[in-house]
């Protein structure tokens, strides 16, 4: 029980650190003026190695932080990350053998789909002009920069989930 409590605290500290890293100006370099959304791959990679309850709670927490960072209202990221984390946790526990390649491909796919959903709901349906230019200049670079963190977080969260640090 103590080992699990320490793991849970480490995961939530990792989420807070990721939020601080992505939101503090000049702390993390920008790629063409865009910052990575570290919280998305963080929650998704944890869900590959932990049970459903922790995955949903951490996904909703990271989603709320991401919602707050993007537009200040709780909604899209918190709901979508909680659902995606639950589904990936169930899949990895019951149906899929989690390897680095499977976690990398599913994690990258989920990040891209969640960011596409954010773009469509917040920009494409809002009737802005030049949305394809906005998508190509802002969202593509943000997606690519975010995808760089997926393999790093897979290795980190796999190590934390095994609990060998205690």
Can you give the CATH number for the domain in which 85 is found? 1.10.1760
pLDDT at residue 3 in the model: 66
**Structural domain containing residue 23:** 2-162
Main-chain phi, psi angles of 165, to 5 degrees = -85, -10
Alpha-carbon distance of 60 to 79, in angstroms, equals 6
Average pLDDT, the chain: 85
Instruction: Report the pLDDT value the prediction gives residue 1, as an integer from 0 to 100.
Output: 56
Q: Dihedrals φ, ψ of 98, to 5°?
A: -80, 115
pLDDT in tens, 19-63: 998 888 877 777 777 788 889 999 999 999 988 899 999 999 999
Calculate mean pLDDT across residues 143-162. 88
| pLDDT cut 70: percent of the chain above it | 95
Total of domains in the chain: 1
Closest to 41 (Cα-Cα) out of 154, 117, 161, 142: 154
């Amino acid at each position: 029980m103590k080992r699990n409590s320490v793991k849970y605290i480490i995961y939530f500290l990792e989420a807070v650190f990721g939020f601080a890293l992505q939101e503090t100006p000049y702390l993390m370099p920008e790629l063409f003026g865009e910052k990575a959304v570290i919280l998305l791959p963080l929650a998704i990679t944890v869900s590959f190695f932990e049970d459903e309850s922790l995955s949903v709670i951490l996904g909703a927490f990271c989603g709320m932080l991401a919602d707050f960072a993007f537009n200040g209202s709780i909604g899209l990221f918190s709901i979508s990350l909680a659902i995606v984390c639950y589904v990936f946790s169930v899949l990895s526990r019951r149906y899929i053998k989690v390897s680095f390649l499977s976690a990398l491909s599913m994690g990258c796919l989920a990040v891209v789909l969640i960011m596409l959903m954010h773009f469509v709901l917040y920009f494409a349906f809002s009737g802005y002009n030049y949305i394809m230019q906005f998508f190509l200049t802002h969202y593509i670079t943000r997606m690519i920069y975010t995808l760089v963190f997926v393999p790093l977080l897979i290795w980190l969260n796999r190590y934390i989930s095994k609990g060998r640090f205690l």
